[in-house]
Amino acid sequence: MSALDILSFLNSGEWVSGEEMAKRLAISRAAVWKQIQVLRQRGYEVSASTGKGYKLVKKPDLLDADRISCCLQTKWLGRDMRISDEVGSTNAVALSLARDCPNGTVVLAETQKEGRGRLSRPWASPPGGIWMSLILKPKMPLNLIYQINMAASVALCRVFSSLFGLDAGIKWPNDLLIRELKICGILMEVGAQVDRLDYAVVGLGLNANNNLSGFPAEWRTTSLAAQLGHDIDRCELICRILEEIEVAYENMGSKDIYEEWRSRSLTLNRQVRITSAAGDLVGQAVDLAEDGALLLRTGDKLKRVLAGDCIHLRPMQAEAL
Amino acid sequence: MSALDILSFLNSGEWVSGEEMAKRLAISRAAVWKQIQVLRQRGYEVSASTGKGYKLVKKPDLLDADRISCCLQTKWLGRDMRISDEVGSTNAVALSLARDCPNGTVVLAETQKEGRGRLSRPWASPPGGIWMSLILKPKMPLNLIYQINMAASVALCRVFSSLFGLDAGIKWPNDLLIRELKICGILMEVGAQVDRLDYAVVGLGLNANNNLSGFPAEWRTTSLAAQLGHDIDRCELICRILEEIEVAYENMGSKDIYEEWRSRSLTLNRQVRITSAAGDLVGQAVDLAEDGALLLRTGDKLKRVLAGDCIHLRPMQAEAL
């Protein structure tokens, strides 16, 4: 018996008598009271009234390993979960664990002090967001790892749509946008030998309930709370994300995933500027290949770009070029 | 003034008077005596004789950071060096350091408790061998990392030849053999993002002066000491290896390195069995491609193999197939 058993009665949001819970759980009323205290300590607001019993007024916006593992319907993803209040970056923690932990281990933190994006750029990670890294160990050659990124992107779009009715798109190569604003970034880092992947760490930075006031305007970010007008249940969202990623992962490399990834692209048919080690390229994104490469038309040439920073140019800017 | 200054006098192996050293180093004879004690503590056998002075009888076979850094003629490789008595594996230590340490950092240990080869196989690492991992951070896309392996293999062959006159060859993909016996294995592990390498850890396991009696006969190993009939100076060898690897690294991806790598191959034109995730393949190794792949003729088909375990079959066995 744990506080979660009590919570399952209170989740309705109605008054529930202490006597009834005690009877159904075969414990004393004092034991019920004790577990109510545990819930309150975890940030649940529970009203108590003589005669009526208990009522859940507000759930805390905290990552709760018990709640997540209770509601999680995956076979293996997230079955080993490490939650911290604060870390340097969840990717760094995951990378340090990756070699010796099972496939599907998940690292979560309320905040990151040194969250990082691509090219070691800083990534703001205040409380209320979802800063999560997944350790995945598919048996695959190194040249197929783009498939992991593709599957994760598609899975996240599916969750935003099914859970919130939000239409998210994919800005190549690894950002998710809602109404042209960044809602989520994906940073995959891998450990490998010449011929095969040892592990991939898929880091997700998702603006959920976190305040965006500290984010510079030029980052063009949004959050789920800002889009929906109310906070969301992060624990539930984490479960749905892990479930969808597990499904997409097991379908990795399929035509389905590729086609959905391509059809959800916000970069396709846009004028873009790609910045990479090889320099800047400006052109029209005319296609996305099955291996994740962007096909760029610059003048009368067609170029394949495997990765890089991508800026969507507005039509106005594009004409000015 | 350090014990190494004294050592520079004694290295001739002749008697050197304490008075002369004191004079040349502008220190007292008591200070000379003190540094002789330091050398003895480090395992140097130094004879002392009234009237004759001091004579170096035997150098210790220990990794000595001061000696290595004194004799090392590299620009950047090994300029940051971490030497331990015993580690789990030097690759594991290097991987844990890699993100935050400079390019060219080197990890060395007298012994490894959990030395590992490809496919997580155990690798025996008794005292007297060279168990060394190099942290390299070339700016390169992920599909070119075979070049690092290629450069390291070529560099090691060059050292065996120039320093000892030993003719080493390369057993594809990552072993070095002398007279068909394994002298050195290379295990490269990398950290990367989808499009670019963050760091490569190149682990070398080199049988130098170590006893081979604990090695099962089927490993078919040899050591430098066994080949030469005497122990070698590991500190000197480490310097020469780092110097050659630095040269080859800066020439990485060149036609020269590829051609030398190919010409030193012991696998080319052999009957081989390749074991990989995709299953076993038996055939004739007819070529080695510029990207490190092995071209295998099986029956009337030609197959490209990027990596795998390779067994050289003897002509007799090959005919029996």
Would you list the DSSP string of B275-291? EETTEEEEEEEEEE-TT
- Tally of CA atoms within 13 A in the half-sphere of B46 that contains its CB: 28
Q: Does the beta carbon of A185 lie under 8 angstroms from any beta carbon of chain B?
A: no
Q: How far is A150 from chain B (nearest CA, A)?
A: 11
Scanning every residue of chain A, which has its alpha carbon at the shortest distance from the alpha carbon of B149? A194
Q: Are A186 and A175 in contact (CB under 8 A)?
A: yes
Asked whether the beta carbons of A133 and A106 are under 8 A apart, the reply is yes
pLDDT over threshold 80, residue B118: no
H or E segment at A280? strand A279-288
- CATH 3.30.930.10 in chain B: give the residue spans: 65-263
Query: In chain A, which residues have their Cβ closer than 8 Å to the Cβ of B278?
Result: none
| CB-based contact, B96 to chain A, within 8 Å | yes
List, in sequence order, every residue forming a beta bridge with B109; answer none if it has no partner: B84, B131
Best mutation target among B91, B147, B172, B194 (most A Cβ atoms within 10 Å) is B194
Q: Which residues of A touch B114 (CB under 8 A)?
A: none
Under an 8 A CB cutoff, do B193 and A188 touch? yes
Positive or negative: CA dihedral B4, B104, B159, B128 = positive
Q: Is residue A78 classed as helix, strand or coil in its secondary structure? A: coil
pLDDT in tens, B219-260: 899 999 999 999 999 999 999 999 999 999 999 999 999 999
Question: What's the pLDDT at B120?
Answer: 65
Please name the residue that has the structure tokens 């990367």.
B192
Cα distance between residue A99 and residue A137, in whole Å: 9
Within 10 Å of residue B11's Cβ, how many Cβ atoms? 12
| CA–CA distances in Å: residue A12 to residues A46, A55, A152 | 12, 9, 33
ipTM over 0.85: no
Residues of each domain in chain B carrying CATH 1.10.10.10? 3-58
Torsions phi, psi of A61, nearest 5?
A: -95, 70
Q: In this predicted structure, what is the pLDDT of residue A11?
A: 86
A95 to chain B, closest Cα gap in Å? 9
Q: Can you tell me the distance from the alpha carbon of B304 to that of B217, in angstroms, rounded to the nearest whole number?
A: 31
- Residue A142 and residue B146: Cβ atoms within 8 Å? no
CATH fold group of domain A271-320: SH3 type barrels. (2.30.30)
B192, A194: Cβ pair inside 8 Å? no
- B93: Cα separation from own chain's centroid: 16
Measure the CA–CA gap between A90 and A113, rounded to whole angstroms.
10
pLDDT value, residue A317? 43
A304 part of contact set with chain B, CB < 8 Å: no
Residue A95 touches chain B, beta carbons under 8 Å: yes
Q: Give Cα B28 distance to the centre of its chain.
A: 40
Q: Does B203 touch chain A (CB under 8 A)?
A: no
Question: Do A46 and A18 meet the contact criterion of CB atoms below 8 Å apart?
Answer: no
Hey, what CATH class is A3-58 in? Answer: mainly alpha
- Three-state DSSP class for residue A189: strand
B186 contacts in chain A (CB < 8 Å)? none
A187–B193 CB contact, under 8 Å? yes
The answer to whether A123 and A153 are in contact (CB under 8 A) is no
User: Could you tell me if B292 lies within 8 Å of chain A, comparing CB atoms?
Assistant: yes
Dihedrals phi, psi of B224, to nearest 5 degrees:
-60, -45
Distances in Å between the alpha carbon of A3 and those of A44, A108, A310, B57, B235? 11, 22, 47, 74, 62
| One pLDDT digit (tens) per residue for chain A, 321 residues | 778 889 889 988 899 999 999 999 999 999 999 999 999 988 889 999 998 999 999 888 889 888 898 899 999 999 999 999 999 999 999 999 999 999 999 999 999 988 877 666 777 788 999 999 999 999 998 889 999 999 999 999 999 999 999 999 999 999 999 999 999 999 999 999 887 899 999 999 999 999 988 788 888 999 999 999 999 999 999 999 999 999 999 999 999 999 999 999 999 999 999 987 778 999 999 999 999 999 999 989 999 988 788 999 965 444 443
pLDDT digits (tens, 9 = 90+) for B189-209: 999 988 789 999 999 999 999
Residues of chain B found within 8 Å of residue A96, distances taken between Cβ atoms: 96
Taking residues B175-188, report their average pLDDT.
95
DSSP annotation string for A105-117:
-EEEEEEESS-B-
Q: Which of B95, B188, B194 sits opposite A188 (nearest CB)?
A: B194
CB contact under 8 A, A196 and B145: no
- Sheet of strand B294-298, all strands in order from the earlier edge strand to the far edge: B301-305, B294-298, B279-288, B271-276, B309-312
State the Cα–Cα distance between residues B116 and B121, nearest whole angstrom. 6
Q: How far apart are CA B140 and CA A187, in angstroms?
A: 18
Closest alpha carbon within chain B to A100: B92
Question: Is A193–B192 a contact, with Cβ atoms under 8 angstroms apart?
Answer: no
In total, the C-beta contacts within 8 angstroms joining chain A to chain B are 72
Question: Inter-chain contact B189–A189, Cβ cutoff 8 Å?
Answer: no
Interface of B with A in 115-144 (CB under 8 A): 118, 139, 141-143
Of the candidates A233, A188, A186, the residue with the CA atom closest to the CA atom of residue A208? A233
Q: Are the CB atoms for B286 and B298 separated by under 8 Å?
A: no
Nearest to A106 by CA among A119, A92, A90, A122: A90
- With CA atoms as reference, the chain B residue closest to A188 would be B193
Interface test with A, best of B96, B195, B310 (most A CBs within 10 A): B195
Which pLDDT value is given to residue A115?
Answer: 81
Residues of A in contact with B307 (CB under 8 A): 193-196
Whether B318 has a pLDDT exceeding 50, the answer reads no
B188 and A194: CB-CB below 8 Å?
yes
Measured between beta carbons, which residues in chain B are less than 8 angstroms from residue A304?
none
Q: Which of B178, B174, B63 is nearest to B118 (CA)?
A: B174
**Closest-approach residue (CA) in chain B for A148:** B194
Structure confidence at residue B201 (pLDDT): 97
Q: Tell me if B190 and A191 make a contact (CB, 8 A cut-off).
A: yes
State which residue of chain A sits closest to B193, comparing Cα positions: A189
Q: Do B187 and A193 touch (CB under 8 A)?
A: yes
Which residue intervals of chain B bear CATH 2.30.30.100? 271-320
Nearest to B79 by CA among B104, B100, B62, B109: B104
B-chain residues within 8 Å CB-CB of A277?
139, 196
**pLDDT at residue A316, rounded to an integer:** 42
Phi and psi angles of residue B92, each rounded to the nearest 5 degrees, phi first = -65, -45
CB of B71 within 8 A of CB of B165? no
On whether the CB atoms of residues A36 and A25 are closer than 8 A, the answer is no
Take residue B276 and report the two structure tokens written for it: 């990989």
Rounded Cα distance between B117 and B90, Å, is 12
B296 pLDDT tier (thresholds 50, 70, 90): very high
* Contact: A193, B118; criterion CB under 8 Å: yes
Q: A205: Cβ–Cβ under 8 A, 6 or more apart, which residues?
A: A115, A117, A123, A125, A129, A130, A131, A184, A185, A187
CB contacts of B196 in chain A (<8 Å) are: 277, 307
CATH number 3.30.420.10 is the correct assignment for the domain at B65-263: no
> At residue A247, what are phi and psi to the nearest 5 degrees?
-60, -50
